[in-house]
Amino acid sequence: MQPHFVAMRLAGLTALFVASVSLLAAERSLTTHQAGALAVLLAAGMLAGHVAWMRAGPGGRPSAEARLSALLGAALLAPGLVLLFWQRAGIDATVLLLVAVSNQGASRALFALAAAAVAFYAAGRHPRWLLLAPLALVGGVQFAISSGRSDVSLGGGSWTRFVVFLAAIALLAGAGRAAGGAVERNLLIAATALAPFMFEAIPGRGASVSAGLIGAGMIAGLVLVLRGRITIGTGLGLLVLALVVASSLAGYGRSKTPAILFGLAGAVLLALTYVRRGADQASA
pLDDT exceeds 60 at position 89: yes
Same structural domain for residues 180 and 245? yes
What percentage of the chain reaches a pLDDT higher than 70?
90
Q: CB burial class (10 A; 0-12, 13-18, 19+) of residue 58?
A: exposed
Does residue 2 sit within a domain?
no
Give the domain-ending residue among 84, 111, 131: 84
Query: Which tens digit of pLDDT belongs to each residue from 172-188?
Result: 999 999 999 999 999 99
Residue 114 shares a structural domain with residue 179: no
Check residue 151 and give its pLDDT: 58
- Check pLDDT > 70 for residue 110: yes
Report the C-alpha gap between 47 and 70 in whole angstroms: 6
> Given a cut of 70, is residue 73 above it in pLDDT?
yes
Q: Average model confidence (pLDDT) for the chain? A: 86
Statement to judge: residues 222 and 267 lie in one domain: no
> Quick one: average pLDDT of 62-91?
91
| Stretch 118-141: mean pLDDT | 95
Distance of CA 277 to the CA centre of its chain: 36
Q: Identify whether residues 171 and 200 lie together within a single domain.
A: yes
Same domain, yes or no: 182 and 244: yes
The answer to whether 119 and 145 are in contact (CB under 8 A) is: no
Average pLDDT over residues 150-160: 66
- pLDDT tier at 120, thresholds 50, 70, 90: very high
State the Cα–Cα distance between residues 169 and 75, nearest whole angstrom: 25
pTM of structure: 0.86
Of residues 258 and 81, more confidently modeled: 81
> Do residues 96 and 174 share a domain?
no
The contacts of residue 52 (CB under 8 Å, 6+ apart) are none
Rounded CA separation 142/273 (Å) = 39
Burial group, residue 152, by CB count within 10 angstroms (0-12, 13-18, 19+): exposed
User: Is residue 230 over pLDDT 80?
Assistant: yes
Judge if 189 and 273 occupy the same domain.
Answer: no
Per-residue confidence (pLDDT) for residue 1, from 0 to 100: 43
Residue among 103, 84, 183, 99 nearest 145 (CA): 103
